[in-house]
């Protein structure tokens, strides 16, 4: 296979993976009532729920205006858009630079892997044996 053929194959695989990831995210979130949330387990007497170690995924997200490099994901939710025959995916999370909760970060194809990992960790898929 030539480098050009390899390149085209990789692009095709990337697009296929993005479609499968988005479908997984939408179907899984929909089956959980439209939102999947992570509730951190705090130690006795502890009240700081902004520590990034309490959340399974910390990643870069964009809110439509600005990039946020360290967002600890607390929830993923969907918005059905029948008028355009699409479903939009959003995450909420804690901005680790300000320790503030922020909502509705757009999930782009580049974010799907992190969102899939969040869902897997939150629903306990990572701790189950692979079949």
Domain ranges in the chain are 3-126
Cα–Cα distance, 84 to 129 (Å, whole number): 39
Could you tell me the pLDDT band of residue 31, with boundaries at 50, 70 and 90?
A: very high
| CA distance readout (Å), 4 to 9, 10, 14, 56 | 9, 10, 15, 37
Cα–Cα distance, 45 to 63 (Å, whole number): 33
Per-residue model confidence (pLDDT) at position 39: 82
| pLDDT-wise least confident of 10-14, 38-42, 82-86, 121-125 | 38-42
pLDDT average, residue stretch 123-130:
72
DSSP state of 116: H
Q: Which residue has the higher pLDDT, 43 or 45?
A: 43
Residue 109 predicted with pLDDT over 60: yes
Q: Average model confidence (pLDDT) for the chain? A: 89
- Under 8 Å between Cβ of 91 and 108: no
Per-residue model confidence (pLDDT) at position 20: 98
The reported pTM is 0.85
- Under 8 Å between Cβ of 65 and 104: no
What does the pLDDT look like over 51-99, one tens digit per residue?
667 888 999 987 677 888 899 999 999 999 999 999 999 999 999 899 8
Q: Which residue has the higher pLDDT, 61 or 26?
A: 26
- Under 8 Å between Cβ of 73 and 91: yes
């Amino acid at each position: 296979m030539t480098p050009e053929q390899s390149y085209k194959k990789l692009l095709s695989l990337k697009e296929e993976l993005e479609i499968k990831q988005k479908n997984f995210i939408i179907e899984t979130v929909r089956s959980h009532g439209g939102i999947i949330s992570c509730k951190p387990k705090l130690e006795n007497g502890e009240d700081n729920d902004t520590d990034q170690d309490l959340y399974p995924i910390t990643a870069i997200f964009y809110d439509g205006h600005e990039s946020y490099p360290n967002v600890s994901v607390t929830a993923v939710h969907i918005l059905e858009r029948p008028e355009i025959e699409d479903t939009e995916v959003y995450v909420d999370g804690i901005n680790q630079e300000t320790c503030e909760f922020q909502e509705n970060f757009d999930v782009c194809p580049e974010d799907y892997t992190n969102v899939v990992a969040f869902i897997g960790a939150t629903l306990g898929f990572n701790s189950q044996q692979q079949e």
